[in-house]
Amino acid sequence: MVYTNDSPTRILIAEDDLTSRNILAALLRKNGYVVVETCNGDEAWAEMQKTDAPKLVILDWMMPEMDGLEVCRCIREIETTEPPYIIMLTIKDEKTYTIAGL
């Protein structure tokens, strides 16, 4: 488990598929992480604007409202000395998606 300032690391999961979100959340909680779950990009972006925003973000690429790539771009624009780590998930296997995510 990773700790930040003596408290467990908070992780945001932004995934519109309930089964995938539940599996990821269960695995992370089992390992002691605090998990924040959202089902669309708008909710994910709202979480990342809070003062206690998670330090790790797991984003599904294709979500309603705002897609994962757009959320990623918005997060990168936040001025901070400690930007969060971002993991993008997608079923797409084309190189253009990989390049766009970078």
Q: For residue range 24-68, list pLDDT tens digits in order.
A: 999 999 999 999 999 999 999 999 999 999 999 999 988 888 998
Q: Which of 2-6, 52-56, 57-61, 93-97 has the lowest mean pLDDT?
A: 2-6
User: Band of the pLDDT at 2, cuts 50, 70, 90?
Assistant: low
* Number of structural domains found in the chain: 1
The pTM is what? 0.83
User: Token pair for residue 95?
Assistant: 């190189």
Q: Tell me the C-alpha distance between 24 and 78, whole Å.
A: 26
pLDDT number for residue 30: 96
Give the CATH number of the domain where residue 89 resides: 3.40.50.2300
Domain membership of residue 76 as a residue range: 3-101
Over 90: is that where the pLDDT of 82 sits? no
Over 80: is that where the pLDDT of 101 sits? no
Backbone CA torsion sign across 23, 53, 47, 58 = negative
